C-alpha cells in the first residue's frame, strides 16, 4: 500500500449530499423538551415562535435517518468544504507512539471553526421562510462569525449578543462580525428586559452563554418576523454537523482506515456530535465498536460532574427545558477560564448516549490544554483554538497509552478550529500567568440547586 | 464537460517537486547586485556573511532552470499544501461578468499567507548549515509568523524585528510569533546601532521595513554563527515561491484552463513573482502570452512612480545595492496606510521584466481596496488580507472590463492571505475613518534624492 498522504481532501463529487440523524438509530430516545408554559412535552408548533419551521421540524424529528442537504446549502458548503483529514505524522513521531493519529480539521474558513456548517443551514432555512432577521448569541465568537458569514451570504440582518468577557478578551472578533454586516452587542446589555435584570443584580458580571441566549431569544420574539438561532446543543445542530463525521468516514474508507478511538472536545456538543455521528451509528447498529471520548474543561465539567436532569438552556429561564447533563443554568466558569466550552449544559442526544454508556468523558485543566496546543502548533504548524486543544490533549493521552501498551491503535480527533482570536489567552499561557480553576463541590451544589421542578417528571 | 468544481486541490502525488528559476528563461538578466564596500558586482562569497551558503548560491544562480526541493522541505510543505485553486463563482455572478475568475488561495495556514513557502526553505538551509540562529524583519507580520513556524519546526532560535507601527496595530501577531518560540522586538529598537541612530534622529518614528531590515542584518552579522533571512524581494524568495505558480498551472491544466490575465498584489514581489513564474516562462519562451498585472498601493507606488535604479534594500544602507524600481530607501508610506505592501523597492527580477515590457502595473487607493475586500468577503466568505485585496480589486476591474467588452476571459489572481490580524484596519474602514494618501511628486523627489552614487554605473 502506498504511503498515506498528510492531508486527504474528498473531491466535490465525493462530498456527502445528506445529513445523518443519529436519533433514527438510537434504541432509546432522549427525553422530550418540556414547554415551561404548560410543563408538558413541547410540540413542534410550540417552537415556531422561536425557531423557523423547518428547523423546528428537524429539532423534533427522531425518525428520518437521512435529510437531503438543499442545493443552496451545498453550494455554500463547496466554498470552503470539504475540510481535510490530516495525518499528524510529526505529533506521532514526537510522542514516539505506535498509534496512528488522524484529525479532521474544520478551521480553514473565516469563522475559524466547524460552526459554519450549521450557520449556513440555519440562515438558509430562515431566508427560505422569508424572515426579516435573526438573533443569536456567541461566546468565543466562532459561532457569531460563522452566522455573520452565512447571513451576509443569504442577505439576512443579524444581531449577535456576545458574552461580555469574550467581547472584551477578543475585540477583533467583533470587528470581523461587523465586517460581514452584523450588529454586535455585549451581553448582558441594556437592550433587553433580561439583560437589564441581570445587570441590576450583578452590574460587573462578565456574562455567560446562558444569559446571552436569554437576551437573543427575547430580542427575537419581540422583533417582527425574527427568529432565534443557536450554534450548539440542539438536535438540529448535531444533524447539520454530521457532515463532519460523514466526510471523515468517507476519507478514512479511501485510506482503508477505521478509528479505534475517537476524541472530541465537548462544550455544547456540536462538533463532537457531528464528528462521531456515523461512527456512533456503527456502534448503535453493532457494525463496529470504537471508543468515543469527550474531553471537557475541568472548570466547566458538565459530563463528568454535572447532573443528568431537566434544565433550562438559558439563564433567564425562558427556553424549553431539556434533559441533559447540566451544571445548573446559572453556572458560570471562573473568569480566569480562557479555554472556551463554557456552556452549563450539553447536547441532549450526547447526554443520553453518555448516560447509556456509549461514550466516555474526561475533564482536563486549562494549563495542560495550552501546553498541548503549543506542542501541537510547533509540530503540525496549525495554531489551534483553545476549545479544539482539549481534543488534542485527549488524543495525546490516548497515544501515550498506546506507547505504554505497545498497541498501534488508530486515533481520530476533531480539530474544530484555529486560535487566531485567542491570543490574549495564549499570551497569558506564554507569560506563565495562566492559572487553573476547578469548581468546588459546594459551587456545583449551589448552581444545581436551581434545577427546575416539573410536576410528575422532576420534583 | 462536467461543471468546474469550486475548489481544486492537487493530490500529494501531483505536487511539484522542483522550484522553477525564472532567470533561466529571461533573455536579459537583471543587473547584478553591487557590493557597497567595493562598488563592484557582488560575488557569491560576498553574501556568505549575511546569508547561508545554499541560499546565497540560489540568489546568484541565473542558469539552473529547476531546483529539486529537498525531501525535508517537501515534508513540511505537505503539512499545509497543496493550496486550493478556487473558482469565484459568486463574485462572477455579483459582477455579472462573462469572465471566469480563479484565485490561488495561500491563506489556509497559520502564517495566514504564502510566506511560509520560502520561510521553510530558508530555515531548512540554515539548519542544514548548522547555524545557531536567524534574524529577520517583519512588517504586517505574516513573514515573521511564517518564519517562526518554520524555525520552531526545525528547532532554530529566531529574533524578529517588527516594524513599530505594525507592532502597535497588530498586538496579537507578536503573541503568535512568541507562541512559536521567537523573540519579537519593535523596530527601530535600542538593541542595534542603526536602531539607536534612527531613534535619535526621529524618536517618534513608526519605523519601516527598510529600517527593520538594517537592524536584523546588523544583529545577524554581530551574533555568532547567525544569518539573516528576508521574506520578499530576493531572487531566492521568488524561486521558492514558484511553488504557487507551478501548483496553479498544474491545477488549471487539469481543468483545461489557461489564464488570459494574471493579477497579483505587489509589495516586494514574492507572491506575484511566484504566481506568475511558469506563466511568465510561457511568455518568455513564446508558448503563450497572458497579460500580467501588478497591483500596488497608491501610497507606496514603486512600479508606477518609482525609478528603475540601483538602491539599497534597507534604510541603514548596509545591504548590497540592487537595480530595481524604488522610491528611495528612506521612503515611508504615510502612517494612515494600513494596506501593507509598504516596501520602498521591488524584486529585481520583476523590476527587469516590468522594465522590458512583460508586465503591467496599476496603483490603487486603500479605501477602494477595502471596499473590494468586504465585497469579496461577503460573497466568497473568506476575509482577505489587505495586501491580497489589492489583487481582488485588480481582478474585479478586469472582470468589469470583460463585462463591458463582452469577452469571456479567464482571470487568475493570487489571494495571498487572510486578514484576521488586520481588524484594526477593517474597523477603521467599517467606521468610515479610513482615508487615502498619495505621496506628492515632491515627496518622491525628496526620497529619490537619496539614491546611491556608484562610480561608472550610477552617477
For residue A381, list chain B residues with Cβ-Cβ distance below 8 A: 76, 79-80, 109-110, 116, 149, 152-153
Mean pLDDT of all residues in A124-139: 96
Chain A nearest CA to B183, separation (Å) = 12
* Contact residues for A289 (Cβ-Cβ < 8 A; gap 6+): A282, A283
Going by pLDDT thresholds of 50, 70 and 90, the confidence category of residue A290 is: very high
DSSP readout, A81-148? PSPPEEE-HHHHHHHT-SSEEEEEE---STT-BTTHHHHHHHHHHHHHTT-SEEEEEESSSHHHHHHH
Is B377–A180 a contact, with Cβ atoms under 8 angstroms apart? yes
Residues on chain B touching A80 (C-beta within 8 angstroms): 381-382
CA angle A87, A90, A92 (to 5 degrees): 75
Residue B315 has pLDDT above 80, yes or no: yes
The closest CB to that of B179, out of A175, A379, A430, belongs to A430
Please answer whether residues B271 and B231 qualify as being in contact, where contact means their C-beta atoms are separated by less than 8 angstroms.
Answer: no
DSSP B259: -
Q: How far apart are CA B101 and CA B52, in angstroms?
A: 40
The residue of chain B nearest to residue A370, with distances taken between CA atoms, is B179
pLDDT of res. B339: 82
Q: Judging by DSSP bridges, how do beta strands B66-68 and B321-326 pair with one another?
A: unpaired
Give chain B positions within 8 Å (CB) of A10. none
ipTM score of complex = 0.94
Q: B65-104: buried (b, 16+ CB within 10 Å) or exposed (e) per residue?
A: eebebeeebbebbbbbbbbbbbbbbbbbebbebebbbbbb
Nearest by CB to A178, from B11, B379, B430: name it: B430
A378-397 pLDDT, tens per residue? 999 999 999 999 999 999 99
CA distance A408 to chain B (A): 22
For residue A113, the model assigns a pLDDT of 95
**B429, pLDDT greater than 60:** yes
CA of B445 vs chain A CAs: smallest distance (Å) = 38
pLDDT one-digit tens code per residue, B234-281: 999 999 999 999 999 999 999 999 999 999 999 999 999 999 999 999
A90: chain B residues, CB-CB within 8 Å: 79, 153
Mean pLDDT of chain B: 95
Average pLDDT over residues B386-398: 98
For an interface test with B, give the residue of A84, A86, A381 to mutate (most B CBs within 10 A): A381
Min CA distance, B214 vs chain A (Å)?
Answer: 28
Record: contact B179-A377, CB cut-off 8 A: yes
With contact defined as beta carbons under 8 Å apart, do A416 and A107 qualify? yes
SS3 B11: coil
- Chain A residues at the B interface, defined by Cβ less than 8 Å, are 5-7, 9, 11-12, 76, 78-80, 86, 90, 108-110, 112, 116, 149, 152-153, 171-172, 175-176, 178-181, 374, 377-383, 418, 420-421, 423-424, 426-427, 430
Pick the CATH number of B7-15+81-112+235-448 from 3.40.350.10, 3.40.50.1100, 3.30.70.920, 3.40.50.720: 3.40.50.1100
Q: Rounded mean pLDDT of B220-244?
A: 96
CB contact under 8 Å between A426 and B382, yes or no, is no
pLDDT tens track for B15-53: 999 999 999 999 999 999 999 999 999 999 999 999 999
pLDDT digits (tens, 9 = 90+) for A225-245: 999 999 999 999 999 999 999
Arithmetic mean of pLDDT over chain A: 95
Min Cα distance A324 → chain B (Å) is: 34
Assess contact for B9 and B108: CB atoms under 8 A: no
Point out the residue among B90, B181, B378 whose CB comes nearest to the CB of A180.
B378
Chain B contacts of A184, Cβ < 8 Å?
none
CB contact under 8 A, B420 and A421: yes
Distance from CA of B346 to the nearest CA of A (A): 29
Q: Flag whether pLDDT at B368 surpasses 80.
A: yes
Q: What was the pLDDT predicted at A366?
A: 96
Dist CA B164 CA B148 (whole Å): 18
Would the CB atoms of A78 and B426 count as touching at under 8 Å?
Answer: no
The position carrying cell 521584466 is: B353
- The stretch A174-195 carries a mean pLDDT of 96
Contact B110 A80 (CB under 8 A): no
CA–CA dist A319, A36 (Å, integer): 7
Of residues B242, B360, B339, the one with CA closest to residue B290: B360
Contact check, Cβ <8 Å, A179/B374: yes
Phi-psi region of B372 (alpha: psi -120 to 50; beta: other; left: phi over 0): alpha
A176, A181, A378 ranked by CB distance to B180: nearest: A378
Cβ neighbors of A375 (< 8 A, separation 6 or more) are A91, A94, A396
Q: Do B78 and A5 touch (CB under 8 A)?
A: yes
- Facing residue for A79 by CB, picked from B116, B380, B421: B380
Q: B-chain residues within 8 Å CB-CB of A378?
A: 152-153, 180-181
Q: Is the pLDDT of residue B3 over 80?
A: no
Q: What pLDDT does A1 receive?
A: 39
Half-sphere exposure of B194 (CA within 13 A, CB side): 24
What pLDDT digit, counting tens, does each position of A72-101 carry? 999 999 999 999 999 999 999 999 999 999
Are B5 and A180 an interchain contact pair (Cβ–Cβ within 8 Å)?
Answer: no
Q: Is the pLDDT of residue B1 over 70?
A: no
The confidence band for B398, taking pLDDT boundaries of 50, 70 and 90, is: very high
Instruction: Tell whether pTM > 0.80.
Output: yes
* Fold equal for A7-15+81-112+235-448 and A23-66+115-228: yes
CA distance A112 to chain B (A): 10
Domains of chain A by residue range? 7-15+81-112+235-448, 23-66+115-228
Average pLDDT of the segment spanning B164-178: 90
- CA B32 – CA B40 distance, rounded (Å): 9
Cβ-nearest to A109 among B9, B381, B421: B381
pLDDT in tens, B102-161: 999 999 999 999 999 999 999 999 999 999 999 999 988 899 999 999 999 999 999 999
Which of A153, A180, A378 lies closest to B153 in CB terms?
A378
Do the Cβ atoms of A172 and B423 come within 8 Å? yes
pLDDT of B185 higher than 60? yes
Closest to A140 measured CA to CA, from A276, A300, A292, A273: A300
Least confident of A409-413, B164-168, B398-402: B164-168
> How far is A350 from A233, CA to CA, in rounded Å?
9
Q: Nearest CB to B175: which of A79, A90, A423? A: A423
Strands of A154-237, DSSP E: 158-163, 183-187, 226-228
CA–CA min distance B410, chain A (Å): 19
Give the architecture (CATH level 2) of A23-66+115-228.
3-Layer(aba) Sandwich (3.40)
Amino acid at each position: 500500500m502506498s504511503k498515506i498522504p498528510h492531508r486527504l481532501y474528498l473531491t466535490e463529487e465525493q462530498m456527502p449530499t445528506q445529513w445523518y440523524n443519529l436519533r433514527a438509530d438510537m434504541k432509546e430516545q432522549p427525553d422530550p423538551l418540556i414547554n415551561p408554559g404548560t410543563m408538558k412535552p413541547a410540540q413542534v408548533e410550540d417552537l415556531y415562535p422561536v425557531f423557523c419551521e423547518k428547523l423546528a421540524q428537524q429539532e423534533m424529528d427522531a425518525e428520518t435517518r437521512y435529510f437531503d442537504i438543499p442545493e443552496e446549502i451545498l453550494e455554500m458548503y463547496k466554498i470552503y468544504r470539504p475540510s481535510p483529514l490530516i495525518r499528524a505524522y510529526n505529533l506521532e513521531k514526537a510522542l514516539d507512539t505506535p498509534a496512528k493519529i488522524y484529525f479532521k480539521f474544520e478551521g480553514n474558513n473565516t469563522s475559524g471553526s466547524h460552526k459554519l456548517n450549521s450557520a449556513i443551514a440555519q440562515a438558509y432555512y430562515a431566508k427560505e421562510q422569508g424572515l426579516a432577521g435573526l438573533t443569536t448569541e456567541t461566546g468565543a465568537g466562532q459561532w457569531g462569525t460563522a452566522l455573520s458569514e452565512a447571513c451576509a451570504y443569504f442577505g439576512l440582518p443579524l444581531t449577535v449578543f456576545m458574552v461580555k468577557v469574550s467581547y472584551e478578551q477578543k475585540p477583533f472578533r467583533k470587528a470581523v462580525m461587523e465586517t460581514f454586516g452584523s450588529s454586535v452587542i455585549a451581553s448582558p446589555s441594556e437592550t433587553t428586559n433580561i439583560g437589564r435584570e441581570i445587570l441590576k443584580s450583578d452590574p460587573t458580571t462578565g456574562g455567560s452563554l446562558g444569559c446571552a441566549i436569554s437576551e437573543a431569544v427575547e430580542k427575537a420574539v419581540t422583533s417582527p418576523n425574527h427568529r432565534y438561532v443557536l450554534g450548539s446543543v440542539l438536535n438540529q445542530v448535531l444533524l447539520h454537523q454530521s457532515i463532519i463525521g460523514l466526510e471523515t468516514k468517507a476519507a478514512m474508507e479511501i485510506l482503508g482506515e477505521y478509528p479505534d478511538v475517537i476524541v472530541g472536545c465537548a462544550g455544547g456538543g456540536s462538533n463532537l456530535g457531528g464528528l462521531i455521528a456515523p461512527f456512533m451509528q456503527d456502534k448503535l447498529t453493532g457494525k463496529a465498536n470504537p471508543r468515543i471520548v469527550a474531553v471537557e474543561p475541568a472548570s466547566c465539567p458538565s459530563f463528568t460532574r454535572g447532573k443528568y436532569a431537566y434544565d433550562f438552556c438559558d439563564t433567564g429561564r425562558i427556553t424549553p427545558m431539556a434533559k441533559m447533563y447540566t451544571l445548573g443554568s446559572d453556572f458560570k466558569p471562573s473568569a480566569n477560564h480562557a479555554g472556551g466550552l463554557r456552556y452549563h449544559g450539553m447536547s441532549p442526544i450526547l447526554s443520553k448516549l453518555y448516560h447509556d454508556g456509549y461514550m466516555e468523558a474526561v475533564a482536563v485543566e486549562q494549563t495542560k490544554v495550552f501546553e498541548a496546543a503549543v506542542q501541537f502548533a510547533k509540530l503540525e504548524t496549525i495554531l489551534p483554538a483553545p476549545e479544539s486543544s482539549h481534543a488534542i490533549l485527549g488524543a495525546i493521552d490516548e497515544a501515550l497509552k498506546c506507547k505504554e501498551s505497545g498497541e498501534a491503535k488508530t486515533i481520530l480527533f476533531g480539530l474544530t478550529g484555529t486560535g487566531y482570536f485567542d491570543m490574549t489567552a495564549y499570551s497569558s499561557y506564554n507569560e506563565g500567568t495562566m492559572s487553573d480553576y476547578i469548581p468546588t463541590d459546594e459551587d456545583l451544589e449551589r448552581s444545581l440547586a436551581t434545577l427546575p421542578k416539573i410536576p410528575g417528571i422532576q420534583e
